[in-house]
Amino acid sequence: MALTASRYGKDQVRVMRLTRSGDHHVPRELTLSVLLTGRFDAAWTEGDNRACIATDSVKNIVNVTAARNLSLDAEGFAVAVARVLLETYPQVETVTIEAEETRWQRHAVDGVPHGHTFTRDGNGSGYVGLEATRSGSILRSGIRGYTFMKTTQSGWAGFVADGYRTLPDATDRIAATSMDATWTWSAAPADYEAANARILATLLTVFGTTYSRGVQDSMYRMGEAALATVPEVAEIAFVMPNKHYVPIDLKPFGLENPGTVFLPTDEPHGRIEATIGRAG
């Protein structure tokens, strides 16, 4: 039997590159598929792996290339990864790369683009919930899956230290979430659409412009501010899972990582919930 086609590589390689110029940050997040075609037939036909490059090495090449090319656009980055593979391994004949970009839009606070607060492009969906009886009704509005991030001014420290803890304290980390928020109306505002927009803008302003000691800390202050901004809201409920960006250890490759290259990961994730209402 003839082996008529074969290739292999690494799929779903996620990497975030972050350039920092003072308080002005630029995130570049990609998910890549990197596949190799070349003189690897013996691995299939004879169980001979001597020509094979570990797929873990392919992932490492993506990460090292990221550290060395923080500012390249997505196209240039794909070219750089392919160049490393072709120049390093003579048995590689073709490198096929597909990359999907997670696009982050810079959020504006009071009309001014913010240095390190971003919302995901094509973001979220609106929500309306109604419970109606002949004696009355409860109307809720909100948003689902609204994803946003800040690349500094966030920490998580001072939590329980026991035999199961492995996380160190962090005082400067990326904070990101995909938020579900639901607010319950006690009265009708003059304009629901305008009121909903004010609530969302308030939530993002508090998140982006204040230091966060944890999702819980930000969530509570975001809720307080929303209630203060729109008096017709009785309470606001949040579900805010963590979207983790883990600094990649580049020391095995002789490189430092000063908070510029991260592994984006969604699973498993923390899930934080709370409802903030008016006192009394």
Question: Of all helices (H) and strands (E), which one includes residue 37?
Answer: strand 24-38
Closest among 139, 120, 124, 123 to 183, alpha carbons compared? 139
Check 25, 107, 116, 244 and give the catalytic one.
Answer: 244
**How far, CA to CA in Å, does 279 sit from each of 36, 142, 151, 196, 215?**
61, 21, 33, 22, 22
Contact 84, 35 (CB under 8 A): no
Closest among 93, 216, 81 to 158, alpha carbons compared? 216
- What is the secondary structure of 101-155 as a DSSP string? EE-EEEEEETTEEEEEEEEESS--EEEEEEEEETTEEEEEEEEEEEEEEESSSB-
55 is catalytic: yes
Check 31, 55, 102, 209 and give the catalytic one.
Answer: 55
209 is catalytic: no
25 is catalytic: no
Q: Tell me the backbone φ, ψ of residue 29, rounded to 5 degrees.
A: -115, 130
Active site residues: 10, 55, 244
